Amino acid sequence: MLKAKPERMTYAQEKLIKLIEERKLRKWCMDNGFTHSAVYRLALGEQIPTYKIIASMCHLISPVEWLFYTDEKLPYEPVLIPQWDCKNPSKYVKAHRYDYKTIAEKYSLEELNAYNIFVAYRSNPTPTFIRAACDATDPTEFFTDGEGEIKSLKEFTPDRGDIVSVDGKIILVITKKESNERNKSFAGCLVVQDSESGIELSGNAAKGKVLPHKLASFEIAHTMPRMLIEKETAEFTAIVIEEVRKGLE
């Protein structure tokens, strides 16, 4: 039996409540692998839809329908898309990995939160943020693959001073772009979070210490940097390079 309807509901809630009224919600949940009690609470507004929930249902309910209320006009045509794996960075997230600070400022996100979403992939964007971003972006971009948006090798070759992410490791590049392009490889020092030794990064979003003695070479063709995180100052990079030279003497 349906409890009292919420005074204000999203388009998604409206669809779920209709299923309840038609006594079809339980079967709908069973057919699609959802827990009936959890979906029932979503319908009544007793549970807030998370990014993970929206992603799990986007083949049945369009993401935009979770973000806007029925007394509001939908800014985009509702479309159904395949279920989305929240472990993967979406098209929108990958598209803004270079300018995440600008996005953070525009939508009032904490910079660390934005870093975790767009660079470290430790967090997912919240529905509140996705709704705000609808001013310029179709929300389906938060639930579809952005692999095609990654810059090609010709478009991005790391340069001296770049802080890049390679296979889950953070690296400060110490070789110049011209050399990297010619040799199709680059050299860099590992950046770690917890270390008694090392040189502290100078106020960048990528926190940690550079270890000059942890020097390694990376073949661009096989371990292409997945993203440019930050660019260190020339002064800071020169200090690291000097420490590297001392270690090689």
CB 232 within 8 A of CB 201: yes
pLDDT bin (cut points 50, 70, 90) of residue 149 is: very low
Nearest to 158 by CA among 140, 144, 178: 178
Considering the chain, what percentage of its residues have pLDDT values greater than 90? 61
Q: What is the pLDDT of residues 188-245, one digit of tens each?
A: 999 887 777 899 887 655 678 899 999 999 887 655 545 566 788 899 999 999 999 9
Residue 152: pLDDT over 50: no
Q: How far is CA 175 from CA 51, 184, 186, in A?
A: 40, 11, 6
Q: How far is CA 46 from CA 11, 42, 43, in A?
A: 16, 6, 8
Burial per residue of 39-55, b for 16 or more beta-carbon CB atoms within 10 angstroms, e otherwise: bbebbbbeeebebebbb
Mean pLDDT estimate for the chain:
87
Cα–Cα distance for residue pair 88/35, rounded to 1 Å = 24
Q: What is the pLDDT of residues 153-201, one digit of tens each?
A: 345 788 999 888 776 677 899 999 999 989 989 999 998 877 778 998 8
The pLDDT score that the predictor gives to residue 151 is 40
Residue 64: pLDDT over 90: yes
Cα–Cα distance for residue pair 130/144, rounded to 1 Å = 13
**Per-residue tokens: 60:** 């049945």
The pLDDT score that the predictor gives to residue 90 is 94
Work out the average pLDDT over 51-75.
95
CB 171 within 8 A of CB 189: yes
* Residue 74 one-letter amino acid: L
